[in-house]
Structure formats: C-alpha cells, structure tokens
Amino acid sequence: MSKSEGFIQPWQGRYLSQKKTLHKLASSYANRFLIVLLPLICIASSASSVSGEELLRFPPKLMKSVEGYAVIPRTPFRCQTVPPMTDMSQFFTFYQEGKTQSAVDPKAMAAYVRRTALLDKAKANLSSLIQQLGSRPSEDATIAECIMRQIYVFSENDALLGNLDDNNLGGRRQAVLVGIWSAIKFSQAFAIASEHFAVSSEQQVSVKRWFSRLSDVFIGEFTPPLNPREEKYKWLDNNANTRYWAGAAVGMLAVHVQDAAKFDWAMMVLHSGLDQIQDDGSLPSELRRGARSLHYQSFAMSALAILVNLADSNKVSLSPNEERRLLNAINFTIEMYRNPEILSKRVGHEQIERPRMGEWLSDLVEHVSPIDSGLTKKMMDVIEDR
C-alpha cells in the first residue's frame, strides 16, 4: 500500500508486541470494544499526547462558526425540537460507480436527501437557535435551554447509533459519516449552550455518555481491521478527508467528555493528515476525485482546520515540517480556487464546483498570521470575497 493510501502500516508492527496488553484491556471493557481499543493503545506514547491532568479546552473559534444561514423569526420565541434519527440502516452512496467517484447519481441523491431529511431538519434547528443567541439578549438563557433540549432528545434515544450493522460496509461507512458530520454540529451546539445555560447534571450525564458512544463508533470505523478487507472495500482504509472528519468529530467530543486518549487519537489523525500533504500543497487522495478535486481538497482542509484549532487550544504543537505542509496546502487550495483551470488541466477533468472556503480559512487565520503575513493576506482576500 502506498503512503497516500493510508497511514496504518506503522501500527501493524506493534500489534503482536501489544497483544497481551490488548487482551487485558479488552476483557475490562468487553470484547465488542476490541477494534476501538487498538488505536488508543498505539497512541499511548505519542509525543503529541495531552496530559490527563489538564482539562481539554474547546476552541473558541469553533463556537463562533455556524454553517449555513438560518432565518431568525420575528415572532416571540417558542422552543421546538425535532425527533431524533435513530435508525441508521440502509444507507448508500449517491455517487455513480467510476474511478473518480465524482459523478452524482440524481436518483440516488434524491433518495439520500429523503433518507437524511429528519436529521437535516434537526441540524437546521440547531443552527437557527444558535444564530438567535444574542439577537434576543433577554431570552438567551431560554434559547440555550432549547438547544439543550434538542441535544438531550437525541442523547436519550442514542440517536445516530441504531442498526449500523444493517448495511453493507460501504453503506455503513456512509451512515457513520452522516453521524460524524452531525456530531460536529451537536458538539458545537453543546459548547455554545453551556456558555449561556446551566446544564443539569442529568443532561450532562446523558449527553456525555452519548458523545462517548459516538466517538467509540467513529474510532472503530476508522481503525483498519486485523484481517485484510475484500479488494472492493480496501478504499475504506484510505487516509483521506473522511478520516480527517472522523478525527475532527472525535476531538471535539473528547473535549466534552474530557477523554485524553480519544483526544490523542484525533491528534494522531491530524499529524497523519498533514503528512499526506505534498510539497506543492496538494492532497493526493482528493486530487483523484476528478471533476470534484477542488471541492474535496477544500473539504479536507475544512476538517484539518478544526483539528488545528483543537491542537492550538490544547497546547499540541505542530513540527516545523507540519507547519510548512499546512501553509503549502492553504496556499495551493487558494491558488486552485482562483485558477481552477490549472487544476482541471492537471487532473484531466474540468472542475464543476467552486467551494466555499471562507469558514475554514477564517478558522486558520489566527494560526497562520504569526507565521506568514503574505499568506494571511491571501486568506483574508478570499474570506472577504465570499
């Protein structure tokens, strides 16, 4: 397996020597957590680990970023919650078969939108509530309480976790990814609500238990199995944007549950992701996505930006080489955003989508500005252009 296809090889050499320790841990937590525990053992001696004595911190920047735009009603505030999505069976990809996995199947996409409609409604509700904070100062505590109600409804019903195994491996991956992107929204909402409202102990216990279970599933999904996969499913172990998003979600959830081992797993994903960046700043796995290469280069950077913010807020340093790779990736993505025809020629496919980059660039400005003023200006130009 080539370097661009995964970062799992260094782990595999450690499995046998750690077998006795693994069995002791597995017996303590039950055998069903075996796959989840593997990466946690391997990171125990990580140079980037966070001390268990220090409280993990949620990045303030991530509390300000709200994806999408919500309409703020002018009528008196009334709390409404959306029922939880608990059944994660029968998921599927909306891409047509092909080497680049970049052509959307319209019928599959329409079915996918219907499949996730309830969850999308819940996330839109959270976005709307978050944006209303501050617009009605006298009702901030009430709005924050409503945010907690929405999260609590999901946590009490173990949302996003049911029937995951009632999918083929590809469908399961898609279901877990839906959970990952949703968990990021719920994690952000929980952090924001906690700033404005005294969360009850009952809510704390329920939500943190749910967050912990979600992160266990995410780590397990992105831990390569001990036995090789079938050829058609080997792509599941690629080190690409989906793994970075898993790391971002696990890192954010780890802060809420104060789990240093899980946070270290997220930081390991960050370091491995930065290691994938080529000298010109490109991410090879994303540039194999044909007409959507620019979209996925930017999409991967969005996840890495969250991970960098988590690292910065918790005193996890990047090496000089990692800093260089990060700056190169930011610069490359901006240049391709400005001149997509260059990327189209390189990958052999005209780029069909101009990504929205303002949010992740904004998340990285504070990190980049002390290092490279010229790149910071380029970033601000794109942010202001949005």
Domain 68-258 belongs in CATH node 3.40.605.10? no
pLDDT tens digits, 57-92: 999 988 864 444 455 566 788 999 999 999 999 999
Q: Distance from CA of residue 220 to its chain's centroid? A: 15
pLDDT, residue 2, reads: 34
| Tokens 């608990």 found at | 86
What is the token pair recorded at 298? 């930017």
CA dist 300 → 157, 242, 294, 362 (Å): 31, 8, 10, 15
pLDDT, residue 19, reads: 34
The model's confidence at residue 17, banded by pLDDT at 50, 70 and 90, is very low
Q: Is the dihedral of CA 91, 68, 182, 274 positive or negative?
A: positive
User: Under DSSP, is residue 57 helix (H, G, I), strand (E, B) or coil?
Assistant: coil
Whether 221 has a pLDDT exceeding 90, the answer reads: yes
Q: What is the mean pLDDT of residues 244-271?
A: 98
Q: What is the mean pLDDT of residues 132-136?
A: 83
Whether 377 has a pLDDT exceeding 60, the answer reads: yes
Between 342 and 197, name the one with better pLDDT: 342
Mean pLDDT estimate for the chain: 87
pLDDT, residue 36, reads: 37
Least confident of 95-104, 275-284, 292-301: 95-104
Give yes or no for a contact between 79 and 51, defined as CB atoms under 8 angstroms apart.
no
What is the token pair recorded at 293? 């290469």
Give yes or no for a contact between 77 and 140, defined as CB atoms under 8 angstroms apart.
no
Q: What is the mean pLDDT of residues 170-177?
A: 98
pLDDT tens digits, 311-347: 999 999 999 999 999 999 999 999 999 999 999 999 9
The model's confidence at residue 214, banded by pLDDT at 50, 70 and 90, is very high
H or E stretch including 332?
Answer: helix 320-338
DSSP structure class, residue 83: P
> Which residues on adjacent β-strands are paired with residue 162?
87
Query: Buried (b) or exposed (e) across 234-257, using 16+ Cβ within 10 A?
Result: ebbbbbbbbbbbbbbbbbbbbbbb
CA dist 233 → 224, 237, 297 (Å): 11, 8, 22
DSSP notation for 192-247? HHHHHS---HHHHHHHHHHHHHHHHHHHHHTS--SSPPPGGGGGGG--SHHHHHHH
Tell me how far apart the alpha carbons of residues 316 and 25 are, in angstroms, rounded to a whole number: 27
Between 139 and 17, name the one with better pLDDT: 139
Tell me how far apart the alpha carbons of residues 179 and 161 are, in angstroms, rounded to a whole number: 8
Tell me how far apart the alpha carbons of residues 204 and 198 are, in angstroms, rounded to a whole number: 10
Tell me how far apart the alpha carbons of residues 190 and 253 are, in angstroms, rounded to a whole number: 10
What is the token pair recorded at 291? 């007409």
**144 closest CA partner among 197, 198, 105:** 197
The model's confidence at residue 18, banded by pLDDT at 50, 70 and 90, is very low
Contacts of 57 (CB under 8 A, 6+ apart): 255, 313, 314
pLDDT, residue 373, reads: 98
Query: Buried (b) or exposed (e) across 24-33, using 16+ Cβ within 10 A?
Result: ebbeeeeeeb
pLDDT, residue 50, reads: 61
Q: What is the mean pLDDT of residues 197-222?
A: 97
Between 213 and 40, name the one with better pLDDT: 213
User: Under DSSP, is residue 87 helix (H, G, I), strand (E, B) or coil?
Assistant: strand
pLDDT, residue 13, reads: 31
Least confident of 51-65, 75-89, 113-127, 205-219: 51-65
pLDDT, residue 385, reads: 84
- CATH 1.50.10.100 placement within the chain: 68-258
Give yes or no for a contact between 210 and 148, defined as CB atoms under 8 angstroms apart.
no
Q: What are phi and psi of 372, to 5 degrees?
A: -145, 100
pLDDT, residue 52, reads: 53
